Amino acid sequence: MAKIQKLSAVALLVGAVFMTTACNEKDKTAAPAAETQAASTANADLVKDPSYAVGVLLGSDLKGLVDSQKEVMNYDQDKLVSGVKDALAGKVDLTKNQELQKTLTDLNEKLSKATEAKAKEDAAKAAEAAKQAQADGEKFAAEFKKQEGVKETPSGLLYRIQTPGEGETIKPEDSVKVHYTGKLPNGTVFDSSVERGQPAEFALNQVIPGWTEGLQLVKKGGKIELVIPPKLAYGDQDLGTIPANSTLHFDVEVLDVTPAKK
């Protein structure tokens, strides 16, 4: 929940480390080189001053707070800065000012109610998406099942082998190197090693049941199409890009197999 919280010294230090790391990882092309150089030159003395650095840290935290609450509360920036200045100057003591405490308590209640309402709204949307995903998946599976070459296992996994592959039968404990594309019944691609240009490697018994079962139906070099029902995929978990109760459609190519060590 979004709440007004005090910033402890530890929080400041952790925040500073986090922000420093984040800044180092940012794309250096985010700002024009000329503008970056100009700003660096203009603030050369300030950026070396701990007081300024802490001020920027606090300001960044405040901006994040304001931005996260803008749908509920419109803050007056001038008054916000005035409050910070008065607190730093010792003109106001939050622990002794009951009116300020009440204002913050009222604000916190308002934010909590807004958060609760948003959570209910999101839950309702997720439930509707899960219901739709269930219906779409059942329809897609029924149509796929009618296609030539499609078979079904006792668990409900639908598959079509395009290339059987060669070598030893893949065991659940073996590790595989694969290229794959995963789609929802509506054709939306939610994950693809092919698009990333980087094959995936994993132990076969560490993935969803539909994969563990399905890839044992081919061998190294094999290609298989899988339609995995929710119970063999992520079930009622809502993963964002994959709604709860989703049927998943995969095209998989087994590039290599590494037998498990005995």
Which residues form the catalytic set? Answer: 180, 190-191, 208, 234, 250
d(C-alpha 261, C-alpha 117), whole Å: 52
Rounded distance, CA 69 to CA 108, Å? 11
Closest CA to 182 of 228, 214, 149, 148: 228
Q: Name residue 103's amino acid.
A: T
- Report how far apart, in Å, the C-alpha atoms of 85 and of each of 50, 78, 137 are: 17, 11, 58
Compute how many other C-beta atoms are within 10 angstroms of the C-beta atom of residue 222.
22
DSSP 166: B
Cα–Cα distance between 194 and 208 in angstroms, integer? Answer: 19
Q: Give the closest residue to 217 by CA, choosing from 128, 155, 260.
A: 155
